[in-house]
Structure 1
């Protein structure tokens, strides 16, 4: 059962990300059919997001590398849940998602997606 409190928190998070963020996309590649083959299909989903550089104290060179971005993605209206392997376009740059957290405090309602993006090669 959805908790009304978390729906309000999600609404507040969406308002803040919209106010201080930018438009971007989350791209997901669907592999070709294993039997019939074909080409992989890339689908772009519009998103509202806030990219922020990690503070120097968090960059350890292994888990978080120089150039990684912490990207807050509004969950309101997003058709998918960003996961590892997806690519986020922010500031005109493509970032591959290497880690993520859906922030489901009640186990159901995704308040905001916080992902770690690394410049896609």
Structure 2
């Protein structure tokens, strides 16, 4: 029985996102030093992404709100896994990640990151 090549799927997803997407940034607030304190440090990570509006049939006003975006982020070359609390910046807006799916079908290789972004995220 042949095994499925998830790295190949990841490469295909990256090619599509690169072709149809745009450059963006994922900003993560790194916690302050546990001994010395201080302010959280915003750390930007360049990313290639495709923001897409949710279809009206999926907007329920609670889990998915008007203005939320489904954002596909290439996993290739991204040193972090986008998660709740991060902010995704595209060409025109900042979106706070409120939900996400790393799409690790084999439990190891992230094929593509799909996150739900809510307008109003702020760059620190």
> If the length of structure 2 is used for normalisation, what is the TM-score?
0.92
**Equivalent residue, structure 2, for 1:114:** 114
* Structure 1 vs Structure 2 CA RMSD: 1.2
**Equivalent residue, structure 2, for 1:52:** 52
Counterpart CA distance in 2 for 1:49 and 1:4 is 25
Q: Which structure 2 residue ranges, 5 or more long, are not aligned?
A: none
2:11 paired with 1:11? yes
Q: Which structure 1 residue ranges, 5 or more long, are not aligned?
A: none
Secondary structure of the 1:96 match is strand
Secondary structure of the 2:66 match is coil
Counterpart CA distance in 2 for 1:91 and 1:117 is 14
**Equivalent residue, structure 2, for 1:64:** 64
Alignment of 1:15-34 (within 5 A): 15-34=15-34
Instruction: Report how many residues are paired.
Output: 119
